């Protein structure tokens, strides 16, 4: 059980690197995307100035390239964080493994006649990634590639082969093995993905139910986030019968989006057809507005307040940026990924509460469009539209925020969930640490661990140095304490945790340098 817990913690830590990139880039993407939208330019003409518009479009373009390739970030981050033996070869192998995964799925789709050549490929669960049309597995694919590369590295980095194949032995075997494994996975995923998409399409009748439909939409949509299938789900509701068939002035509209556009932009709130809006907007932005404007700040506050006191300053930056990314840009993954994988039960509770809130909004007659869920959309399509019922979002949002805050705070503490700032104990009052004399710290650490010959793999998490050792009798706790450590733990045989606080990464770097001498 302890080993399983250690693996979960290791996996959770490995996600912090890509999440750390997602948060600021997502914020730039969201804000630049909002300020370059036509409805924002109409509201604030200054944004339409050629120079200003080009600046925001440029920022959006650059950010979109990074954010559009999140699977690679996750592949590299997971491989780096989970590998113990050779992180460099693990990261290298993860990229190759991910590329093979993409192209093998493309080959499968092509040879089985399932490659979509016309229409909206998102509805069929496909996407173009790095120029390859493939199954849209999103960050799930990157995580799979990262895990495969990390496991292959730790198992095969010192693989010995017959002399005739010696060139491919050792570390050079890792990328080859990683690619072979993901090639096999790439042949399996499309088969099951096809059935999953068909299953989604078969649920169209249930989705139109005011209560059951909202529960299914709310829960399933959030559960599909890590697999990238939420794009399929959203496209299905927007453009197919799953989102309903609506007749307006004798014209039939399939899916909710075109019908909502007709009423919102052409007929207006005084039209008799405005009564249809709550049935249309229940699939759109209003549920997301509750999430980004109220629920996410509540989650962020709960995480901040449950962080260890000495780690709060460090955790605050990531939490605030992740919340702001959703609030301004409707990019929810940075915050959701901080607890999705390490506390799936909590994530499920969060999804269910959101679904119940969606039901309440529907029966309260809320009619706030559009498909994004930012503060900008709330003001433009809610506050500035009469008969939108925007106040309902505030009411439901405050109730959801209160529930989420207390549930998250209780659950995080009760089950010791390693959300940002909670992973380990924090900083040291040692003069060596405070004055950042890391070379001296490293000398004491190496000596305290019994010398280079007694030290195996060295790595770190947010606050602890984690070291594999050979002989426990050679470890000198007094020397380790003298180095500035605030605590020493032996979570398993042959493995030690030494607590230094937020500056542990610099201690680890110095230890690495000391071991090279």
CA–CA distance, 134 with 127 (Å, rounded to integer): 6
Helix/strand/coil for 126: strand
What is the pLDDT, as a whole number, of residue 5?
A: 55
**Residue 462: its pLDDT value, please?**
62
Domain count, the chain: 3
pTM for the complete prediction? 0.62
* 157 and 267, same domain (yes or no): no
Mark which of 140, 170, 205 sits at the end of a domain.
205
Residue 335 forms part of a structural domain: no
Q: Are 179 and 139 in the same domain?
A: yes
For strands 245-248 and 495-499, give the pairing: unpaired
- Higher per-residue confidence, 433 vs 48: 48
Stretch 505-510: mean pLDDT, rounded?
A: 89
- Evaluate whether residue 399 is within a structural domain: no
95 and 240 both lie in a single domain: no
197 and 250 share one domain = no
Report yes or no: 404 and 291 within 8 Å, Cβ to Cβ: no
Of the candidate ranges 289-293, 309-313, 395-399, the one whose mean pLDDT is the lowest: 309-313
Same domain, 50 and 189: yes
Q: Is residue 175 part of a domain?
A: yes
Is the same domain home to 122 and 95? yes
**Residues near 110 by Cβ (< 8 Å), separated by ≥ 6?**
none
- Residue 126: φ, ψ to 5°: -120, 160
Q: Which domain holds residue 504?
A: 431-516
Examine residue 342 and state whether it is found in any structural domain, yes or no: no
Taking alpha carbons only, the member of 232, 235, 266 closest to residue 248 is 266
Considering the domain boundaries, does residue 437 fall inside one?
yes
* Structure confidence by residue, pLDDT tens digits, 336-388: 888 887 889 999 999 999 999 999 999 999 999 877 788 888 988 888 888 89
Domain limit, last residue, from 205, 222, 256: 205
Residue 217 and residue 175 share a domain: no
Domain C-terminal end among 138, 171, 205: 205
Are 191 and 220 in a shared domain? no
* Structure tokens, 233: 């789900």
Is the domain of 72 the same as that of 185? yes
Please tell me which of 13-22, 45-54, 335-344, 460-469 the model is most confident about, judged by mean pLDDT: 45-54
Q: How confident is the model at residue 430 (pLDDT cuts 50, 70, 90)?
A: low
66 part of a folded domain? yes
Which CATH number is 459's domain given?
3.30.1360.60
Alpha helices in 68-137 (DSSP H): 70-82, 87-111
The phi, psi pair for 460, rounded to 5°, reads: -145, 155
Please report whether residue 354 resides in a domain.
no
My answer on whether 67 and 133 are in the same domain is yes
Task: Name beta bridge partners: 499.
Answer: 464, 487
Residue 338 belongs to some domain of the structure: no
How much of the chain, in percent, has pLDDT values that exceed 90? 29
- Residue 139 contacts residue 70 (beta carbons within 8 Å): yes
């Amino acid at each position: 059980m302890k080993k399983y817990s250690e693996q979960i913690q290791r996996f959770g830590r490995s996600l912090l690197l890509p999440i750390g990139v997602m948060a600021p880039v997502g914020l730039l993407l969201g804000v630049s995307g909002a300020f370059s939208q036509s409805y924002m330019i109409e509201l604030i003409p200054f944004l339409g100035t050629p120079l200003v518009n080009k600046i925001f479009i440029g920022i959006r373009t650059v950010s979109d390239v990074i954010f559009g390739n999140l699977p690679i970030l996750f592949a590299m981050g997971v491989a780096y964080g989970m590998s113990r033996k050779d992180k460099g070869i693990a990261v290298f192998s993860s990229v190759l493994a991910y590329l093979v995964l993409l192209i093998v799925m493309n080959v499968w789709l092509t040879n089985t006649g399932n490659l979509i050549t016309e229409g909206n490929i998102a509805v069929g669960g496909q996407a173009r990634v790095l120029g390859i049309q493939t199954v849209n597995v999103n960050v799930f694919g990157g995580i799979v590639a990262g895990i495969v590369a990390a496991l292959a590295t730790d198992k095969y980095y010192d693989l010995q082969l017959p002399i005739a194949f010696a060139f491919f032995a050792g570390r050079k075997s890792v990328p080859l093995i990683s690619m072979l494994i993901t090639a096999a996975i790439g042949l399996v995923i499309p088969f099951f993905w096809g059935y999953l998409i068909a299953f989604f399409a078969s649920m169209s009748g249930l989705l139109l139910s005011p209560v059951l439909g909202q529960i299914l939409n709310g829960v399933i949509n959030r559960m599909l986030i890590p697999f990238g299938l939420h794009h399929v789900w959203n496209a299905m509701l927007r453009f197919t019968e799953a989102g309903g068939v609506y007749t307006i002035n004798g014209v039939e509209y399939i899916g909710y989006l075109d019908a909502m556009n007709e009423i919102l932009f052409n007929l207006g709130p005084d039209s008799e057809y405005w009564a249809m809006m709550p049935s249309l907007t229940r699939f759109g932005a209003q549920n997301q507005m509750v999430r980004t404007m109220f629920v996410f700040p509540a989650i962020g506050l709960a995480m901040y307040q449950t962080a260890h006191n000495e780690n709060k300053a460090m955790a605050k930056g990531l939490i605030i940026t992740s919340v702001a990314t959703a609030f301004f840009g409707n990019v929810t993954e940075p915050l959701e990924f901080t607890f999705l994988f390490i506390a799936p039960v909590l994530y499920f509770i969060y999804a269910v509460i959101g679904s119940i809130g969606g039901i309440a909004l529907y029966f309260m007659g809320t009619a706030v469009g559009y498909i994004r869920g930012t503060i900008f959309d709330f003001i433009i399509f809610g506050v500035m539209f009469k008969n939108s019922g925007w106040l309902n979002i505030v009411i439901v949002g405050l109730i959801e925020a209160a529930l989420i805050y207390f549930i998250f705070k209780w659950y995080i503490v009760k089950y010791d969930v390693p959300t940002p700032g909670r992973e380990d104990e924090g900083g040291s009052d040692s003069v060596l640490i405070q004055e950042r004399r890391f070379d001296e710290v490293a000398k004491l650490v190496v000596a305290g661990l019994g010398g280079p010959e007694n030290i195996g793999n060295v790595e770190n998490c947010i606050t602890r140095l984690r070291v594999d050792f050979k002989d426990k009798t050679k470890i000198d706790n007094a020397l380790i304490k003298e180095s500035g450590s605030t605590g020493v733990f032996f979570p398993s045989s042959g493995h030690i945790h030494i607590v230094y606080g937020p500056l542990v990464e610099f201690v680890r770097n110095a230890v690495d340098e000391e071991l090279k001498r």
